[in-house]
Structure 1
Amino acid sequence: MKQAFALLLAALGFFQVAAQKKVAITYDDLVLNGPYISLEHTIAVNQQIIADCATFGVPAVGFVNEKKLDVTGETVARINILKSWLDAGLELGNHTYSHPSLSRTPLEEYQNDVIKGEEVTKALMEERGLTLRYFRHPYLHTGPDSTTKASFEAFLSARAYEIAPVTVDGSDYIFNTVYVDALRAGDTSLMQRTGAAYVAHTLRMFDFMEEVAKEVIGRNIAHVYLCHANAINADYMGILYQELKQRGYEFTSLKEVLQDEAYQRKDYYLGKWGISWLYRWDKEKSTEWLKIEPEIDQEILSLYNNR
């Protein structure tokens, strides 16, 4: 009887582990996304994001636009921000130099921007025995046509890059713009409403994408969350991490998430929109999914559109 009970407990433990939800957290637009306040604020934003990663055990990847390093009188301090990410055991990826769109930029020009965007980041990583291995398309624009897309993917492969896909996106840049405007105005009430709306919307997006995954893949998958290095995430990402943990999510590396066989599926999408890979894997229903996504809080959206 005891042996049977032990086997039952072991089986239950196995299913608990098997049911564990996983997500890789990725931050775009390092060293800062959104409206600029000051160098001191930029440093503080990154310090808090890094501290939250340490508190919650998040092995995040930060995707760098190296143009954001080229600020007169601030370059050394901004490079030191990247060093602080690496010193904390986090990883950096290439997000191009100037954040162009592959849908609107000639291929050769775009590829040169990718090369220019790796110079500092690659050197910093190599100093630590690390390899720059991930590329994230700005705007998630992966190519306007099949020829451009295939040519660029061959270029990335030749430079030993792996594309960093995205399954969940909370549109934090919209909330952040309103949040920083409120911060500048000293409107703490609007800051609190915006932060709360951001967390709530992002959790709805996770719930929604879990259901999309079940329809497209037949099960929930290990997810990749796209957010940005910005003020609202410095103040609210810890709350979001806690909420995701309570929903059963384990924070894991991008490398581990991409081992989920779902990511071996073909990205069918061609077009000008930056959409979730879950939509790309189901080209017949991608438009339908977009139409029924959770909507952003109307107050926030109105403030963003009318600023």
Structure 2
Amino acid sequence: MRGTLAALLALCCSLAAAQAPDRRIAITIDDLPWQRIGKTAEADLRSRHAQLIAQLKQAKAPVVGFVNEDKLEVDGVVQPARVAMLRDGLEAGAELGNHTYGHVDLHEVGIPAYEKAILEGERRLRPLLAERGMRPRWFRHPYLRAGRTQADKAAVRDFLARHGYRIAPVTVDNGEWVWAFAYENVLDGQPDTPLRADTLRRLREGYVPYMLNKVDYYERQSQALLGYALPQVWLMHANALNAATYAELVAGVRRRGYTTIGLDQALRDPAYTRADGYEGRYGPSWLHRWAMAEKKAKDFYAGEPAVPQWVLDLAGVDAE
């Protein structure tokens, strides 16, 4: 009897292991060297950047950071200290990609101006990477806006390919920027009091589960659309909130059974060759773009975690 029970338990464990999702996730950080660089005092910028770099080293996860080259300048003059921030990222193990000069919106400026912003977005990036025998190979659309027609998408994709780039999609999209704006509004805009400290703590403690719940949601979306757990691509930004929580976020997905992988490894999955069915003005997750290509009903998208109203109020925005 004992042997039979042990065999049954072993079989159950084996079946459970066979059915467990293959959870993998690639992390990306946009708006380098810093998201709100023009609104951040120099001393604060240095300390918060150092904190983010320390978090990257602590987490020990592959990451690709996407650079807005205009943020390297003040009044059109390149600032060596800001270029050094990118070098710090490289030394921490990050790869760097192109996020355009000026974080321009393709849907507003049109293809010729967008292509110009792409090329201007590699003037310092390309030689910086060449110092290490590397080249820029990843491109991230600002606002995740990739074109409002299939023809526009193809034109931009072909232009990028001719210049050695591959588009970096996002599957785990989120309202992280709202939380980050709220955090910095409190951090920089309120006097240093116990109330401010408590609000910052509430934001950190609310942000981490919000982000992890987003990962859970998009895993469910992947299972529903594809029938398996897609290697996800997670969107974050270089800001004070992630400088305080990045390692905790990485630890959180690892507790959920995820392995952190490189972006190139994630994009080997054949799902990333699927058609982008979105032609609206915004920039949703690629999982939702693929669902739109299949004409999924509205209820397919239900259940996505939302940013709480109190955070929207602190951020000074109406919606994420």
Secondary structure of the corresponding residue to residue 282 of structure 1? helix
**Residue in 2 that maps onto 1:23:** 25
Instruction: Return the alpha-carbon distance in structure 2 between the equivalents of residues 17 and 159 of structure 1.
Output: 42
Give the Cα–Cα distance (whole angstroms) in 1 for the partners of residues 317 and 54 of structure 2. Answer: 34
Stretches of structure 1 lacking an aligned partner (at least 5 in a row): none
Partner of 2:55: 52
Say what the alpha-carbon RMSD is for the aligned residues: 2.5
Q: 2:222 touches 2:287 (CA, 8 Å); kept in 1?
A: yes
Q: What is the aligned partner in structure 2 of residue 78 from structure 1?
A: 82
2:271 counterpart of 1:262: yes
**Residues 1:298 and 2:309 are matched in the alignment:** yes
Counterpart-to-counterpart distance in 1, 2:255 and 2:230 = 18
Report the equivalent of 1:174: 178
Q: Report the Cα offset of residue 52 of structure 1.
A: 2.0
Q: TM-score, normalised on structure 2?
A: 0.87
User: Structure 1 counterpart of 2:274, which letter?
Assistant: R
**Conserved 8 A contact 1:169-1:202:** no
Identity %: 35
Matching residue of 2:155: 151
- What secondary structure sits across from 1:41 in the alignment? helix
Q: CA deviation at 1:176?
A: 0.9
Distance 1:225 1:273 in 2: 18
Would you say 1:32 and 2:41 are equivalent positions?
Answer: no
Unmatched segments (≥5 aa) in structure 2: none
> 1:56: how far off?
2.1
Q: 1:153 to 1:247 in 2, by over 3 A?
A: same
Within the candidate set 268, 282, 288, 2:291 is matched to 282
- Pick one of 218, 221, 224 that aligns with 2:233: 224
> Normalising by structure 1, what TM-score?
0.91
Amino acid at match of 1:45: R
Structure 2 CA distance for partners of 1:214 and 1:306, relative to 1, 3 Å: closer
CA distance in 1, matches of 2:152, 2:212: 35
**Where do residues 49-198 of structure 1 align in structure 2 (5 Å cutoff)?**
49-71=52-74, 75-184=79-188, 185=190, 186=192, 187-198=196-207
C-alpha separation in 1, matches of 2:248 and 2:55: 9
Amino acid at match of 1:302: D
Structure 2 matches for 1:207-246, cutoff 5 A? Answer: 207-246=216-255
In the alignment, the residues of structure 1 paired with residue 242 and residue 83 of structure 2 have an alpha-carbon distance, to the nearest angstrom, of: 20
C-alpha distance in 1 between matches for 2:289 and 2:126: 30
The counterpart of 1:41, out of the listed 40, 44, 62, is: 44
What SS does the corresponding residue of 1:61 show, helix, strand or coil?
strand
Contact kept, 8 Å, 1:98 with 1:113, in 2: the verdict is yes
The total of aligned residue pairs comes to 301
**Alpha-carbon offset, residue 24 of structure 1:** 0.7
**1:274 to 1:62, Cα distance in 2 relative to 1, 3 A:** same
Of residues 187, 205, 222 in structure 1, which corresponds to 2:214? 205
Please give the secondary structure, in 1, of the residue aligned with 2:103.
Answer: coil
- Please tell me whether the aligned partners of residues 21 and 228 of structure 2 are also in contact (alpha carbons under 8 angstroms): no
CA deviation string 1:18-66 (max 9, x = no partner):
8441111100000111373222322333322222222222111110000
Distance 1:252 1:79, change over 3 A: same
